Chains A and B, each alone.
Chain A
Amino acid sequence: MSDPNAASLFRLRTEYVKRGRLAYLGHLEVLHTLERIVRRAQLPYAVTQGFSPHMRLGVTSALPVGTSSEAEYFDLFMTEYVSAGEALARLTASAPADLAAQRACYLDVRAPALTAEITRAMYRIELTRADGFSFDADEVRALLDGIVGLGEIPYARGKKRKVLDLAGTLVGFTCVDLEGGGIELLLDTRISNEGSLRPEILLAALDRSLTPQVKREGPIVSTGIQDLAAISRYAICRTAQYVEDSDGSLLSPIRTDETPAAPLTVSSVPSL
């Protein structure tokens, strides 16, 4: 980072959730809400220089409308040090409960951006069968294996034809029957510059495999929440995001073991 002021800034990373009805917020809506939370928390946020000054805040990759999350992150650049514990308390008091901050830590101002650092995302999907369907987890697993075997899923986004590269983005999945009657799907996905896996496209492909008898026109369309035939409802939650270490181990983006960019006299580096 070539910012001349970087040396005098502090970088606070916060983990927060997106759940309940707030899962229906779009990415930009979440971004604006985070900025408002920071202002209400009266944190000493840094402002970009230039024509249109704005808060220096970085976020993780966009979460689709309707998808909840147990592990989202934002990095806030600040001009003064506020202990991570106090910053967390102030953020929590200023946020709707369904976007509550969970943990916070300081990290090196020059560390890579969240979007560059995070390369793995885990998802939990709960499916409810539509009336008249009786498929179980084993069947879903077999169908998904078939889809994965094809390597990619063609879909349309607006007028553009695109391809979801499963070989590159899906690390693995598990599938089990839930006691309440639904089916739970856990996805381990990879995020890179080449792309990421949007779980709804995989679900739409699964739905087509489950209902080969239903005639559909055109490819899967990636807009908003999917209207499916064999699945009456589904809930998607991003359960974790990770930074991959050089040896392949998964690290939390909240790194409490690193030296924070905080004054050395400060002894209480947040744990949690």
Chain B
Amino acid sequence: MRTPYENRFPELEPLLARVEKPSRYIDHEWGTRSSAEADYRVCLVYPDVYEVGLPNQGIAILYAVLNEQEGISCERGYVPWIDMADAMREAGVPLLSLEGAAPLSSFDVVGLHLPHEMACTNMLETLDLAGIPLHAADRGEDDPLVISGGPSVYNPEPLAPFIDAFLIGEGEEHIVEVCRAHERLRDAGATRLEILRELAKIPGTYVPSLYEVRHDEACTPHGYTVPRAGEDVPEVVHKRVVADFGATDPVPQSVVPFAQLVHDRLSIEVLRGCARGCRFCQAGMTYRPVRERTPDQIVSAVMRGLEKTGYDEVSLTSLSTTDHSCCPEVLSRLNRRLADTGIRISIPSQRLDSFGIDMALQVAGEKKGGLTFAPEAGSQRLRDVINKNVTEDDLERATRAAFEAGWRRVKLYFMMGLPGETDEDIVAIADLADRTYEIAREVVPPAQRGGVSVSISCSVFIPKAATPFQWCAQTPDDEVKRRQQLLLRSVRNRAVRVHYHDADTSLLEAVLSRGGRDIAPVILGAWRRGARFDAWTEQFDLSRWEEAAAEAGIDLREVATEPFDLDARLPWEHVSPGVSRGYLLREYRKALEGTTTADCSRTSCTGCGVCPTLHADNILAGERA
């Protein structure tokens, strides 16, 4: 029998006394929208703690869209922090939704957001705390349908055995279709298998149990995935794109938390997609085409959203907000409207060439924190390889202007281990940082030089599915560590601080990005050994993963560092963001030659295949500079 939907907060409440930040678990925030009487219930779960998950825009959008629907109620769930999870297990309290404090297992659908690879153990933690069988194959007729979606679904295989259906791409129309179909089939008394077969017919829906992994054609050690014999399902599941982005509600966010979050503000998605074409960037490939909201829509959305939520900060979000053709106009209009309110405007990501210091000034007002620039690679040669169309002059101009305008803290973001990287490229990172510091010394008056800070943040390149670098190997972790030391030694100026990412975490990210269904037992084994909250550096422990991998007969380093043949079938090619294999291959070859590719939103079509395949187009609000 299905677990009854009922309020079990009284069982949770005594535990609040024993955990940190009890406000994570109390609900009753402003702006919740679920309805207690609905006949069909969805619980969307962000696989991390409340304060990390609440700001997520994807969940905010789907939460709004589902609760708009007649007869559907959508609630939220988060993963209890370790102290609470342990207390709940000890007390026999299952994972509860926030709004209704009802067991997750009582819902029709449990939706697990997949923000990044490292969330995989928390997804198992969620299912286990909820009392839902971890493997899709073990779920019975009374268990909820477990769906998953989000930015990291473009290689779904490592999680395939645990998920009933993946929703690929933009979910605002898709999830409603899936829920309505599920509701209809449920009411008609369909079996779980019948339901899954029907859902697989909805475009963008990948039902892993109807597919199998084969190794008979040229492929990687992880095989490739095809429909099971006799199953009427698409060979390639293309991502969904909303019919008209401009017509979607620009203010989906409604819930205002009590707790102070990492991103505690109103977010307005001003544009979707990025056509810069950086070859390492998965989001750049998977969020195409580019669609901008109009300045009028953005300004009115900001004002309405602030009034509705009471936030004191608004963030204009997207993959690259300053690329919006009307960004300066939007900023100056908002600054006029928000004068003397104490309300701040922020922009999450910036580019050297487009983030004019003028725009930075519009955002910062009197208070100038740090500015982050992302050259990604140290040398022009390597920046051409990755198609980061930024020159050293761009960087110099931008940092000089930033120091002149009063900024004192500049952070430079790079990646290490990019394809074809040499020691000279590493030394070039150090040179760039040293040069930036020298510019600061030239520009900043002597009395203020004490406040100058230049730092380097260097992450490790992870080859990602559906990018031109999907065939590339990750640099071995011991080599990464050597290059990190080389970077440290190469920075001449002692005032330049160097931060680099943990090579252990990066190794695992590569395994989860490149592996196939064969990695699923490793995830399960690591979770059984206590792995959870792996995205939290202090919680992550590679040894759990190494033991789990050994048990499953997998060599983590081999998975991460073995390049794939260009003609091999890859583990994820049955799922597609619409970017064609031919385009990715062409881009890969151009990378090897160091030839760059233009941005199609500024020049002409570069033939990535998204528009014809997905029947979509770039839609700009004005001319891009």
Q: In the docked arrangement, what's the CA distance between A38 and B518, Å?
A: 54
Q: Which residues of B have CB within 8 Å of A26?
A: 23
Stretch at the interface among B12-20, B231-239, B529-537: B12-20
Known: A29-B23, A96-B28. A233 touches B14 (CB 8 A): yes
Residues in B with CB closer than 8 Å to A225 are 16-18
B307 contacts A22, C-beta separation under 8 Å: no
Does A80 touch B at the CB level, under 8 Å? Answer: no
Contacting B258 at CB < 8 Å: which of A33, A48, A94, A226?
Answer: A33
B residues less than 8 Å from A227 (CB atoms): 17-18
Q: Which residues of A contact B27 (CB under 8 A)?
A: 21
For residue A186, CB closer than 8 A to chain B, the reply is no
Among A50-58, A117-125, A148-156, A201-209, the stretch that binds chain B is: A50-58
Q: Determine if A65 and B22 form an interchain contact, defined as CB atoms under 8 angstroms apart.
A: yes
Listed by A's residue number, 17 A-B pairs whose Cβ atoms lie within 8 Å are: A20-B28, A22-B26, A29-B23, A29-B259, A29-B260, A38-B310, A39-B310, A40-B307, A42-B307, A48-B342, A52-B367, A55-B342, A66-B22, A98-B28, A226-B17, A227-B18, A233-B14
Interface set, chain A 173-229, CB cutoff 8 A to B = 224-227
Find out whether the CB atom of A28 lies under 8 angstroms from the CB atom of B28: no
Q: Given A20-B28, A66-B16, do A32 and B342 touch, yes or no (CB 8 Å)? A: no
Residues of A within 8 A of B311 (CB): 36, 39
Asked whether A21 and B17 contact (CB < 8 A) given A29-B260, A39-B306, A65-B22, the answer is no
A36 to B308, CA, bound (A): 10
A32 to chain B, nearest CB (A): 6
Query: A36 with B30: in contact, given A29-B258, A224-B17 (CB under 8 Å)?
Result: yes
Say yes or no: is A24 at the interface (Cβ < 8 Å to chain B).
yes
- Whether A96 contacts B16 by the Cβ 8 Å rule is no
Report how far A22 CA is from B25 CA in the complex, Å.
11
B34 nearest CB across to chain A (Å): 15
Contact at A28–B260, with CB atoms within 8 Å?
A: yes
Q: Does B340 contact A (CB under 8 A)?
A: yes
For B343, give the chain A residue with the smallest CB separation: A39
B309 touches A40 (CB 8 A): yes
The verdict on A66 contacting B366 (CB below 8 Å), with A29-B23, A40-B310 known, is no
10 additional contacts, CB 8 Å, given A26-B23, A36-B256, A40-B307? A24-B23, A32-B258, A32-B264, A39-B307, A42-B307, A52-B367, A54-B312, A54-B342, A96-B30, A225-B17
In the assembled complex, B29 has its CB within 8 A of some CB on chain A = yes
Interface size, B (range): 20 to 34
The A-contacting residues of B in range 1-47, CB under 8 angstroms, are 9, 13-14, 16-18, 20, 22-23, 26-30
Interface residue count on the A side (C-beta < 8 Å) = 36
Closest chain A residue to B17 by CB distance? A225
A contact residues around B341 at 8 Å (CB): 47
Q: Are A47 and B342 in contact (CB under 8 A)?
A: yes
Would you list the 9 A-B pairs with minimal beta carbon distance, nearest first? A36-B310, A225-B17, A39-B310, A40-B310, A21-B26, A53-B342, A24-B22, A47-B342, A29-B258
Q: Are A22 and B28 in contact (CB under 8 A)?
A: yes
The distance from the CB of B253 to the nearest CB of chain A, in whole angstroms, is 13
In the complex, whether A37 has a CB less than 8 A from a CB of chain B is yes
Residues of A near B13 (CB, < 8 A) are: 21
Q: Per-position contact with A for B246-287: 1 when CB-CB < 8 Å, else 0?
A: 000000000010111000100000000000000000000000
Q: Which residues of A contact B28 (CB under 8 A)?
A: 20-22, 96, 98
Q: Is the interface of B mostly helix, strand, loop or mixed?
A: loop
Chain B positions within 8 Å of A36 at CB level: 30, 256, 309-312
The CA-CA distance from A23 to B366 in the complex, in Å, is 37
A105 CB to closest chain B CB (Å) equals: 23
Evaluate contact between A40 and B17: CB separation under 8 angstroms: no
A35 an interface residue at 8 Å Cβ cutoff?
yes
**B312 / chain A contacts, CB cutoff of 8 Å:** 35-36, 39, 54-55
Q: How far is the CB of A91 from chain B (nearest CB, A)?
A: 11
Query: Quick check: B16 and A24 within 8 Å, CB to CB?
Result: yes
Contact between chains at A94 and B23 (CB < 8 Å):
no
Q: Which residue of B lies closest to A33 (CB)?
A: B258
**Min C-beta distance of B111 to chain A, whole Å:** 25
Q: Are A94 and B310 in contact (CB under 8 A)?
A: yes
Identify the closest chain B residue to A23 (Cβ): B26
Closest beta carbon of chain B to A28's beta carbon, Å: 7
**A25, CB-defined interface residue at 8 Å:** yes
Within the complex, the shortest CB–CB distance from A51 to chain B, in Å, comes to 6
| Residues on the A chain within 8 Å of B14, using CB | 233
Q: Which B residues from 59 to 100 make CB contacts under 8 A with A? A: none
Residues of B within 8 A of A55 (CB): 312, 342
Q: Which residues of A in the span 2-40 have a Cβ within 8 Å of any Cβ on B?
A: 20-22, 24-26, 28-30, 32-33, 35-40
Residue of A nearest to B13 (CB): A21
**Closest chain A residue to B24 by CB distance?**
A24
